[in-house]
Amino acid sequence: MGDKKIREPIISVLGHVDHGKTTLLDWIRGSVVASREQGGITQHIGATDVPFKAVEKICGPLLSKLKIRTEIRGLLFIDTPGHEAFTNLRKRGGSVADLAVLVVDLNDGLMPQSLEAVDILKGYRVPFIIAANKIDNIRGWKTGLPLTQQMQHVQDEFYKHFYDMIGQLSMLNINADLYSNIKDFTKQIAIVPVSAKKGDGIPELLMVLMGLSQQYLKDKLTIEADSPGKGTILEVKEERGLGTTIDVILYDGVLKKTDTIVVGSREPVVTTIKAILKPKELDEIRDPRDRFMDVDEVVAAAGVKISAPNLDKAMAGTPVYVGGEELVGKMTSELEDVEIETDKSGVIIKADTVGSLEALISILCSEGVPIKRGTIGKVSNADIMEASAVGREDRFLGVVLSFNSPVLRDAGKLAQDNQVPVFRGGVIYKLLEDYKDWVRAEKQKERRDKERRTVSPGKIKVMPGYVFRQSKPAIVGVKVLAGKLSTNSRLMNDDCKVVGWVKSIQLEKDSIPCAQEGQEVAVSIEGAVMGRNLDEGDVLYTFISGRDVRQLLSDEELPETERILVKEIRDIKKHNV
């Protein structure tokens, strides 16, 4: 057994656009001068290491309130906030991220991307806390004072927004409270009020992250420092003088220069590390083209850039393992586990990275949207033709949902020619919303078209004492007993004899095209003659052809009361043949 060490927890920051994710990270990075200060913040590739001494400096006496011996060496924040960076922090069965901070604008509450973040965090089973940001936007907020010492009207305003947020969270089955009220952090989500702009609440936020890491994640964070390294690709980048490089978050073991590694791509690549690069401190950079320093080895947790041959097809969100050909099969099966192909009818989905595809599949499944096939890459002709084939069975599923994946030019033309809708977007919830809106609009249009082509079922009674004209046309007062009565409808009696057709309908002297169930209206009936084929008290039905009866009964959205009426009309016709 090698030496054991407790690595830093890897922390990702998520939230809705403009809610303050980047500002929060900027404040944490800028709070301690990195250059020449012992225990200062260290910049990694794609991550910022905030060591324990820096946390101690930011938190002051707060850490002593934890009343626990802190063995965590610091916190490693992923620099790029947001869902995409988070989903790229994937590994088999979960996420490389140990903790997450969900930044929510206290004044706005949970917005679409906040909801999406919650879904993604739940899907990856990553514990998180909520930074209720922009408390400094509350009128009268005094920076530097705790909430309990703010003016009463400020506290009232804070709690109004706070309880709105608690209500939103409870709708998602999330039990949350102010961090200071929580006794058991395994049962409730902690909310820490912060101002990412002014720094209020950030010491408390770091304190909670340190406490959670020490109390609940210590076993997960304990690694063998000399075991073969395991990481995940955060980004694939072209670097001048280096060619294609991969930015990797190392979450376990050690990575050494000249190690043989297996890198995730369509077909896993076995290659040898040429260089492990970390960024130089800002004051050491003399030439913008010379931003990196070469290191011989790095131990988890760390963010590094790897330069090696044959990285052109590496994919963000896939693993990097120290090892050789023996690991290729393992990595291939990991990628096959993510991409899906089924024999059932469903939408075609595309995503730009493995993590994005995983998140998209998870959210679509939770929303009950069936998936035919989900793969990584650009939208191709094959995707369009498969969606077109699905559309022949169910046009509402014959679509392509593309998350951050471009559409190849030929595929775009093919989609137009075959009338295959392609939905594109960079926010899963928005993509899903656009698709659902389209389905709703198309179904409404279909229903309106059906209604135009199909006679609506209606049942009316001629009210005694309301005969205004005997014939040419007969004008009588009627009550709509069921369904609806439309102009141009033919009317029959319960002997299936047609008595005339509805020329016009009036409700309180206004002409209307249609009368609804329960309404009493004046109707002019062309062809009806009072005392000959129509009498006071008669019950009449709209005459519906056999084709229309079948079409109405096959409509799943037909209200139950109208379905019963259609069957009644069908039976009258059947018994009088």
Q: Which residues contact 145 (CB under 8 A, 6 or more apart)?
A: none
Which residues are paired to 6 by β-bridges? 222
The CB density around residue 496, as the number of other CB atoms within 10 Å, is: 15
Closest CA relative to residue 478, chosen from 490, 503, 461:
461
Are 306 and 245 in contact by the 8 Å Cβ rule? The answer is yes
Distances (CA, A) of 283 to 79, 102, 531: 20, 32, 104
Q: Which residue has the tokens 């965590």?
A: 72
Are 387 and 370 in contact by the 8 Å Cβ rule? The answer is no
β-pairing, 347-351 vs 371-376, is: parallel
Element (H, E) at 443: helix 428-453
Structure tokens at 382: 């094959």
The sign of the CA dihedral 556, 562, 563, 569 is negative
**Tell me, what amino acid is at 206?**
L
Are 88 and 352 in contact by the 8 Å Cβ rule? The answer is no
Q: How far apart are CA 64 and CA 115, in angstroms?
A: 34
Which residues are paired to 480 by β-bridges? 460
Element (H, E) at 79: none
User: Is 161 considered catalytic here?
Assistant: no
Structure tokens at 290: 């010379």
Q: Which residue has the tokens 């249609």?
A: 514
The residue annotated as part of the active site, out of 83, 153, 161, 575, is 83
Distances (CA, A) of 525 to 128, 180, 280, 297, 485: 69, 75, 90, 93, 12
**Tell me, what amino acid is at 226?**
D
Are 115 and 130 in contact by the 8 Å Cβ rule? The answer is no
Q: How far is the first Cα of the chain from the last one, in angstroms, to the nearest whole number?
A: 91
Q: Which residue has the tokens 């000959």?
A: 532
Are 431 and 425 in contact by the 8 Å Cβ rule? The answer is yes
**What angle, rounded to 10 degrees, do the helices at 381-393 and 409-417 form?**
20
Where in 64-184 does DSSP place strands (E)?
74-78, 90-91, 94-95, 99-105, 128-133, 176-178
Q: How far apart are CA 75 and CA 73, in angstroms?
A: 7
Catalytic annotation, residues: 83
